[in-house]
Amino acid sequence: MLIDVHAHLLTEGMFNRHEFWGPFMKVQGLTVGHFSLGTKQPAKAATDQEAQANLLARMSHESRRKLMAERGVDKLVMSTPSHCFMYWAEREFANEYARICNDELSAFCRADPEHFDFWCHANLADPENAAREIERAVVQLGARGVCVGGANFNGIEVHDERLFPVWERLSQLDVPIMVHGYNQSIYWGERHHEDRFETTSIVGDCVDETLFFWHLICGGALDAFPNLKTYITHAGGMAVFQLGRLSELNRSMAPDSRNRRPLLEYMANFYFDLDVHAPGLRRGVVEVVGIERLLYGTNFGGAYDHGDLTEGLGLSDANRERIRSGNAIDLLKLDRPARAG
């Protein structure tokens, strides 16, 4: 069985909710405020209406199931695209948009629960409201956890104790965090053009994800909430590849860090995927992280597809199955089909 825990969903109800922030699907790409994603790509539609229709066609149940069948995927766990997190928008709208996203994600999944589940969205720039919305999404709508941006939430960084109500609620509900970086140039306003080469996305996502790992540990959140679980996509950004450096320098060069234990002792709180583009790097992630902390996530249907992430790694059938489905079933409390073991 194969469960891909990194996929994104946009529905018609998630578009055009704010006169400025949108989000909108335009000829030049997904647009949020002044920002448009991939503006140098050739236009694939003649009008904004056609662009939106084309995108929604790729997001339909039928289209997704077709691509899933082609790639051997049995279930997707989807989230709001990170470009639409709205942490930087007006608080009232940002909170409202989180509710909209969760209602839309839930409705989509309820129509076919065999194939689809979801990570909820919450406006972490308003932590108290975010905690309430996460509880609503998990308890009432069936969310399996919450997807968050990586580095900061409109100025509230991950180490900030103002976020403790969110971590506390997640711990009480016993559901995990999914960390996905985002284009921080979105809130630069008209200066977003200064983000040369989409750097805050292409490089910045991995930086954000690494910072989440570093700040969550250094800020003492895992001492206050030892059962908090976090999945960091893109193989952990750069955290896994620089794990030794982070561990050593947490002790010798970060005297203001609040973690009570050595950094490596917190690894049991984290999960990662194998979303890197070479089997050699994936083998390294397996060796460093361990089979029991790996999930299968690909940004399904996104910018690239590099085949089965568990092939060519020298894994036993049992370990391959743990990465492909078993760990996700346990972490997200998914139903375990008989064929999943």
The pLDDT tens digits for 209-237 are: 999 999 999 999 999 999 999 999 999 99
- Indicate if the pLDDT at residue 339 is higher than 70: no
User: pLDDT value at position 307?
Assistant: 85
Query: Average pLDDT, stretch 304-315?
Result: 88
Summarize pLDDT for 141-188 with one digit per residue, the tens: 999 999 999 889 999 999 999 999 999 999 999 999 999 998 888 878
Q: Using 50, 70 and 90 to split pLDDT, how confident is the model at 18?
A: very high
Q: What is the DSSP secondary-structure string of 165-194? A: HHHHHHHHHT--EEE----GGGGGGGGGGG
Q: Among 167-181, 220-234, 291-305, 323-337, where is mean pLDDT lowest?
A: 291-305
User: pLDDT value at position 337?
Assistant: 62
- The whole-chain average pLDDT of the chain stands at 93
User: pLDDT value at position 41?
Assistant: 64
Q: Using 50, 70 and 90 to split pLDDT, how confident is the model at 340?
A: very low
Tokens of 206: 């991995």
Q: How far apart are CA 61 and CA 77, in angstroms?
A: 13
With H, G, I as helix, E, B as strand and everything else as coil, classify residue 39.
coil
User: pLDDT value at position 39?
Assistant: 57
Q: Where are the domains of the chain?
A: 3-7+58-340
Q: What is the DSSP secondary-structure string of 259-290? A: -SS-GGGGGGGEEE---SS-HHHHHHHHHHH-
Specify the CATH number for 3-7+58-340; select among 2.30.30.60, 3.40.50.2300, 3.20.20.140, 3.40.50.970: 3.20.20.140
120 in Cβ contact with 146 (< 8 Å): yes
Share of residues in the chain with pLDDT > 70 (%)? 96
